[in-house]
Amino acid sequence: MSRFDNLDAWLVWQMQLHPKAIALGLERVGAVWARLGPASLPFLLVTVGGTNGKGSCVAMAEAICRAAGYRTGAYSSPHLLRYNERVRLDGEDVSEALLCESFERVDRARGETALTYFEFGTLAALEIFVRSAPDVVILEVGLGGRLDAANLWDADVSVVTSIGLDHTAWLGDSLDQIAYEKAGIFRPGHPAVIGQRNAPARLRAEAQLRGSVPMQLGREIDWTLGDGGGWIWSTPSGERLALPEPAMRGPFQYDNASAAIAALRALHERLPISINAIRAGLQRARLPGRFQVFPGTLTWILDVAHNGEAAQALAVNLRTFACRGRLRAVIAVLEDKSPESIVRPLLPFVADWYLAQSSDPRAMPVEVLSKRLEGVLPAPAAVLSVLDAALDAAEAASEPGDALLVVGSFTTVGAALRRLDPGPGERG
């Protein structure tokens, strides 16, 4: 007899199962997996961590593998519209029925062990993948790396896309400390891909201490723009791949694409992938909420940037974005974020700010957000306690040719996405 018969009920219950929303550590998931799944996985595993760029790297690796004809599994978080987005088989979100069946098996296996919402979902995702047995699974780390539930399983290749200041309450307040936590996903004798040229030195040092094989952007792998368009992925040994621009916008996506390609090239003997599949995958990969533009009389720009580094990358994209009128911005963030670091890089582009509070239980109260930004914003902002009201007000103030930027968190962008593209199968 199943505990619940629908996905929403399962998710509400999971949020209350553990006394803390975030409780890092592998003891609970390890104990449950020992009763739930096999000791060795029936597929190749790529684990992707990092401060920014994880989701893009996962999406590109998944699209490349699919273009090569392989069956894929992908796990990422958080979601924008539907929980099902977190678990994909062959590029498609899994069904509610499949999730509920797996939740029931996790529930039976856990006994009296209290799991967090993320731990429960991670165990369910891997259980689904084991039963489906795809050729390769790309697994996104939730928070940090060393103590994240996704780090329970030994990856064939591990990727850290970038290191920045985020989640400092859990990972430490220095790049050095954060690098140590992120490096926890590296494994002895296996490739450790680092997708950042100027990554803290400790990240590479930790890879070497763990006996991993570093493959870092700017050292073992690199990229340059092509003379006649496109770009070149290369290695010091002379390997060169002439590739088209990634479908996802922004110069930083070349870094993410380089990391994804390096991870898959490291698996070449067991997972051969042609250059044509790499090209096709890069052009097919899409990820909602990453500088996602909805053109029209009023152009909407959605970006889940929720820390300073992501906001700087967003600013680079805005610099090349042609807006005929005024650009307004709606921002709502989570309580553990630094809204100042998000707003500052965007100030040269945004004419009017609308501050709000999302529906996320961990949302920063709009009064706190307003106080934090008092000395940062050059002019008073509109302050609305409800996110939908802020979106309404910004849209109503806009004229033809204007643009509206929605930024700050997955929940914030999700609220805008529901207005613009509500169909679960229509996003791209």
pLDDT at 322: 84
Q: How many CB atoms lie within 10 A of CB 256?
A: 32
Q: Which helix (H) or strand (E) holds 159?
A: strand 157-160
pLDDT at 130: 98
DSSP 3-state assignment of 11? Answer: helix
Going through 179-237 in order, the beta strands assigned E by DSSP cover 191-194, 213-216, 222-225, 231-234
Residue 200 binned pLDDT confidence (cut-offs 50, 70, 90): very high
- Rounded Cα distance between 277 and 123, Å, is 31
Query: Is the predicted pLDDT of residue 385 greater than 70, yes or no?
Result: yes
- Rounded Cα distance between 201 and 220, Å, is 15
pLDDT at 428: 32
Q: Torsion-angle region of residue 211: left (phi > 0), alpha (psi -120 to 50) or beta? A: left
- pLDDT tens digits for 245-275? 999 988 899 999 999 999 999 999 999 999 9
For tokens 């060795």, what's the residue? 40
DSSP 3-state assignment of 56? Answer: helix
Q: Give how far Cα 84 sits from Cα of 11, 87, 187, Å.
A: 11, 6, 29
Residue 1 binned pLDDT confidence (cut-offs 50, 70, 90): low
Residue 229 binned pLDDT confidence (cut-offs 50, 70, 90): confident
pLDDT at 422: 58
DSSP 3-state assignment of 206? Answer: helix
- Rounded Cα distance between 149 and 185, Å, is 11
- pLDDT tens digits for 320-348? 898 889 999 999 999 999 999 999 999 99
pLDDT at 426: 36
Q: How many CB atoms lie within 10 A of CB 7?
A: 17
Q: Share the mean pLDDT of the chain.
A: 94
pLDDT at 423: 55
pLDDT at 31: 97
Q: Are 194 and 207 in contact (CB under 8 A)?
A: yes
Q: What is the 3-state secondary structure (H, E, C) of 26-62?
A: CHHHHHHHHHHCCCCCCCEEEEEECCCCHHHHHHHHH
Average pLDDT rounded to a whole number, residues 303-324: 93
DSSP 3-state assignment of 299? Answer: strand
- pLDDT tens digits for 129-172? 999 999 999 999 998 999 999 999 999 999 999 998 777 777 88
Query: Is the predicted pLDDT of residue 424 greater than 50, yes or no?
Result: no
Average pLDDT rounded to a whole number, residues 347-355: 97
Whole-structure pTM value: 0.94
- pLDDT tens digits for 53-105? 999 999 999 999 999 999 999 999 999 999 999 999 999 999 999 999 999 99
Residue 427 binned pLDDT confidence (cut-offs 50, 70, 90): very low
Buried b (16+ CB within 10 A) or exposed e, 141-158: bbbbbbbbbbbbbebbbb
Q: To 10 degrees, what angle do helices 7-17 and 96-110 make?
A: 30
Q: Are 205 and 199 in contact (CB under 8 A)?
A: no
